[in-house]
């Protein structure tokens, strides 16, 4: 040690660790997109973080044909109707493989333009020839290609080019075929050749890419497939080996057309996870029809935003952007409060138009009624448990591999308790504390570098039932004789 003479200072780590909160409701959405319409196409099977409608459309394109392009439904609902952000979008439709070829389609120019028959045209594959096929015309010299409002490719003749006015042309091209995308593509996995992640496996890439913890996983248009829903729940239950979130899933409105049949479908197809919201039916706004899971995500994100991104409030009895509920075939569904309560009692979230317009209605996870533990049966309580756990991981990851000492234990316990006390003071939880309990930390575990801290926490349950007891009180008859 060097010889020292004077006054010196040193620093030690702060005894209280500042809180780091997990993103409560970040949606990660899997589906198909009209990438041929994108000006800056996002890679296939790559999570993309979007904060605005413009960002999303620029990278994924947009089409009103939501049956073919399921991500567009979510883009419209989340950004345009609920005005919440951000969202992570993952396009599974691969223009290299999910496509069909058209040979020698004949079109005739009218007012110097002709529209191709198929949507999803891949612009770079278009070859325009003369009617007899003898002459191949040059793009941007003889003609241009643009997309109209319906997403159709329009060939426009250039007056300075070689194409005659009113000519009949022969066109070869490839176009997207979303029908080739299957549930297996959404489920994905790991490519055996390249090792690349695909489909729902990409949920594990969201935090490493963006440092944001997923709050919800969705696949509108696909989550009514039991195989897809099962993998959604499995992935939501174990993200990167540490984090957890919920899966928003739908019941098939093609198969289930009566509300009384929904519980049996739910149980038969095992939509029964504590980390699963089960939605039925669809909802509509004018002529646009949405999966209920899509709009429920918007309700959840807006509700969280109103509470400083703390997911303690239920999305139930919050306004949907809808003016009707429908089945897949367009049949309108109108439930009364008693019918909606029946679905809620079976762990199903629905849409109710009773007081205050159309509202999301239901607090229960898919685990109810088989499981009644509040942390697993109530959606907001389940979300709070996951959010608190995710936040503790983020907060104390920096302490991993520190020497186990009393100072380390005190720092973690004190920091966590200060944070929980703050949540309680703001009404986000009824109370909470962290303890380091000797019986839960045997000597052999401490020797092996393992410490356990016991978190006690009580998020508020939603007031699903408010009862008034009304009694006739004859004592008030005396008021008739009052002076």
Distance CA 403, CA 342 (A): 54
Confidence of residue 343 (pLDDT cuts 50, 70, 90): very high
Confidence of residue 3 (pLDDT cuts 50, 70, 90): confident
Residue with tokens 């004190």: 414
Confidence of residue 482 (pLDDT cuts 50, 70, 90): confident
Confidence of residue 336 (pLDDT cuts 50, 70, 90): very high
How much of the chain, in percent, has pLDDT values that exceed 90? 93
What is residue 5's predicted lDDT score, i.e. its pLDDT?
66
What is the 8-class DSSP label of residue 81?
A: I
How much of the chain, in percent, has pLDDT values that exceed 70? 96
Domain 27-93+181-380 has CATH 2.60.40: no
The answer to whether 312 and 426 are in contact (CB under 8 A) is: no
Reply yes or no on whether the pLDDT at 19 is more than 60: no
Reply yes or no on whether the pLDDT at 247 is more than 70: yes
What is residue 2's predicted lDDT score, i.e. its pLDDT?
74
Distance CA 271, CA 367 (A): 8
Domain extents in the chain: 27-93+181-380, 99-176, 401-483
Structure confidence by residue, pLDDT tens digits, 49-75 = 999 999 999 999 999 999 999 999 999
Q: What is the DSSP string of 174-226?
A: EEE-GGG--HHHHH-EE-TTT--EEGGGGGGGHHHHHS----EEE-TTTTTSH
What is residue 24's predicted lDDT score, i.e. its pLDDT?
86
Confidence of residue 8 (pLDDT cuts 50, 70, 90): low
What is residue 10's predicted lDDT score, i.e. its pLDDT?
59
Q: Which residues pair with 88 in a beta bridge?
A: 28, 49
Reply yes or no on whether the pLDDT at 12 is more than 80: no
The answer to whether 390 and 243 are in contact (CB under 8 A) is: yes
The answer to whether 155 and 116 are in contact (CB under 8 A) is: yes
Helix (H, G, I), strand (E, B) or coil at 142: coil
The answer to whether 34 and 151 are in contact (CB under 8 A) is: yes
The answer to whether 100 and 174 are in contact (CB under 8 A) is: yes
Q: Residue 306's CB: how many other CB atoms inside 10 A? A: 11
Tokens in use for 425? Answer: 């003071």
Structure confidence by residue, pLDDT tens digits, 118-135 = 999 999 999 999 999 999
What is residue 6's predicted lDDT score, i.e. its pLDDT?
59
Closest CA to 89 of 53, 56, 62: 56
First-to-last C-alpha distance (Å) of the chain:
96
What is residue 396's predicted lDDT score, i.e. its pLDDT?
95
What is residue 22's predicted lDDT score, i.e. its pLDDT?
52
Confidence of residue 191 (pLDDT cuts 50, 70, 90): confident
Structure confidence by residue, pLDDT tens digits, 200-240 = 999 999 999 999 999 999 999 999 999 999 999 999 999 99
């Amino acid at each position: 040690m060097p010889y020292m003479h004077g006054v010196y200072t040193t620093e030690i780590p702060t005894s209280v660790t500042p809180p780091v909160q997990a993103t409560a409701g970040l949606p990660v959405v899997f589906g198909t997109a009209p990438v041929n319409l994108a000006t800056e196409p996002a890679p296939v099977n790559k999570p993309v973080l979007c904060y605005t409608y413009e960002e999303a459309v620029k990278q994924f394109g947009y089409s009103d044909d939501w049956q073919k392009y399921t991500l567009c439904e979510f883009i419209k609902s989340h950004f345009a109707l609920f005005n919440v952000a951000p969202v992570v979008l993952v396009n599974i439709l691969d223009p290299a493989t999910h496509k069909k070829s058209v040979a020698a389609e004949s079109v005739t120019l009218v007012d110097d333009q002709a529209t191709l028959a198929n949507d999803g045209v891949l612009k770079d594959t278009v070859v325009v020839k003369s009617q007899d096929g003898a002459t191949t015309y040059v793009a941007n010299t003889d003609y241009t290609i643009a997309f109209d409002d319906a997403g159709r490719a329009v060939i426009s003749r250039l007056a300075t080019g070689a194409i005659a006015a009113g000519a009949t042309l022969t066109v070869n091209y490839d176009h997207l075929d979303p029908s080739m995308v299957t549930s297996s593509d959404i489920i994905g996995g790991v490519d055996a050749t390249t090792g690349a992640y695909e489909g729902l496996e990409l949920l594990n890439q969201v935090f490493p890419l963006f440092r944001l913890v997923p709050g919800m996983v969705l696949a509108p248009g696909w989550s009514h497939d039991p195989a897809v829903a099962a993998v959604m729940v499995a992935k939501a239950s174990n993200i990167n080996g540490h984090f957890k979130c919920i899966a928003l899933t739908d019941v098939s409105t093609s198969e289930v057309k009566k509300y009384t049949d929904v519980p049996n479908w739910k149980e038969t197809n095992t939509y029964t996870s504590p980390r699963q919201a089960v939605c039925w039916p669809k909802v509509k706004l004018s002529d646009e029809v949405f999966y209920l899971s899509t709009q429920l995500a918007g309700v959840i994100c807006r509700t969280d935003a109103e509470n400083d991104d703390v997911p303690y409030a239920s999305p139930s009895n919050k306004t949907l952007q809808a003016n009707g509920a429908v089945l897949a075939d367009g049949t309108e569904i109108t439930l009364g409060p008693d019918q909606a309560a029946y679905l809620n009692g079976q762990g199903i979230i629905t849409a109710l138009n009773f007081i205050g317009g159309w509202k999301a209605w239901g607090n229960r996870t898919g685990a109810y009624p088989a499981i009644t533990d509040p942390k697993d049966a109530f959606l907001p309580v389940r979300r709070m448990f996951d959010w608190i756990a995710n936040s503790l991981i983020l907060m104390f990851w920096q302490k991993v591999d520190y020497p186990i000492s009393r100072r380390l234990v005190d720092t973690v316990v004190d920091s966590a308790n200060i944070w929980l006390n703050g949540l309680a003071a703001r009404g986000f939880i009824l109370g909470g504390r962290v303890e380091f309990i000797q019986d839960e930390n045997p000597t052999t575990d401490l020797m092996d570098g393992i410490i356990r801290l016991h978190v006690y926490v009580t998020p508020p349950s939603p007031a699903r039932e408010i009862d008034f007891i009304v009694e006739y009180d004859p004592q008030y008859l005396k008021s008739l004789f009052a002076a």
